[in-house]
Chains A and B, each alone.
Chain A
Amino acid sequence: MSSIKEKFSKRILEINGVKRYILVRDDGEILVHNLQEENPETISSILLFSGLNCNKIRSGFGFRNLKYLSVSKENNENLFIFPMEKYFLGVMQHSNANSMELLKDLSNFIEGIMMTKSNIR
């Protein structure tokens, strides 16, 4: 039987346009990833640092929840960061992916995960 992490990996990679992903807990522990060229420690630091800053920005502007942060790159391998309670999910898209479609699919995926969040703890 596959582990929860393997199931998570399988499911997220089934989403059209997902190239790389990393799931990090807010204490810095990397739960699961498929990064290759990129250093997971560096990417997890970006996720955590950005997530913490987004909280400051949110409260500064008086907004409610952060939905996602996206880093647009010239090669279109954009990075998306999603808050998931005490976790952050980072996703790098394939260069030929449609960002808007991917964002929609990832949002649906996360919504499903959050409904069964106890499974990944």
Chain B
Amino acid sequence: MSKIFQDLKSIQGFIGGYVFRPTVGILAKEMPSVYKDNKLSEIGDVLIKTYKSGSLNFPNMIDVSICFQEAVIIIREAAGNTFIFILVDPASNLNLFNMTLSVLMEDVAELIPSTEPNIPVEAAIPEVAPSPVDSGKPVSGSELLSEGPMSGKLQEIQDALAMVMGPIARIIMVDALDEWLKGNAPSHENIPALADILYKEINDSGRVGDFKKRMSALISLTDN
């Protein structure tokens, strides 16, 4: 068992938890056996989206807690796009869990370099995929959007997305870029693959049609 969960498990009301990095998977866990890794990864992606909907709008955010009847889920981001999720009893001392998590954040961050070399090759590729246009080596969708040679074009795509999806466009864009980077080098040639991911994220035929028109103009400009 990871040291992180040894400490947390000693607090009354701890149900389980796991450390998750979207491009790699689960780095450490102490969860009831009923929850399989693929299910936890699926839920992890949604938990991160929920977290980012807050962090993108509130730069001073510390964490997100979601309270259900059965458990409270606390979501925290450690360094390097790595997250820890813990499930605790709603009647437990949440302040104690929050304080303990604050102390443990450095331990969570330490999991990143020690775990990544051991991950399966197919999972490791997206994290370090080299880019022909990427001298600054941005690795996350958020970084790619805000810096580097593709930033301008990606901002244009985000603006087009905002025209059909409103203020939530940035959240969708960052998620789509993270997904895109899993299987594609961040280059202008691969923008159609990014468009396909965005169409799926929008998931509304009318809005997809509108966005496709805007994207086709942007892609043709890229071609020229």
Contact = CB atoms under 8 A, between A and B. Distances in A.
* B interface, size bucket: 20 to 34
A73 B55 CA distance: 10
**Chain B at the A interface: SS class:** mixed
A64 B70 contact: yes
A11 interface: no
Contacts, number: 96
Contact of B66 (A43, A69, A74, A75): A69
Interface stretch (A1-9, A55-63, A111-119): A55-63
Contacts of A45: 53, 166-168
Interface of B: 35, 39, 42-43, 46-47, 49-50, 53-54, 57-58, 60-71, 73, 87, 90, 98, 166-168, 171
Nearest to B64: A71
A57 B50 contact: yes
In the A-B complex, list the 5 residue pairs whose CB atoms are closest, starting with the nearest. Answer: A60-B43, A63-B68, A74-B60, A53-B50, A72-B62
A46 B54 contact: yes
Given A54-B66, A57-B43, A63-B69, A46 B57 contact: yes
Contacts of A109: none
Interface residues of A, number: 30
A65 B69 CA distance: 6
Nearest to A82: B67
A65 B168 contact: no
A71 B61 contact: yes
A57 B46 contact: yes
B167 A61 contact: no
B69 A64 contact: yes
A70 interface: yes
Contacts of B53: 45-46, 49-50, 53
Given A49-B171, A60-B42, A67 B58 contact: no
Given A39-B167, A46-B53, A73-B61, A67 B69 contact: yes
Given A60-B42, A66-B67, A73 B47 contact: no
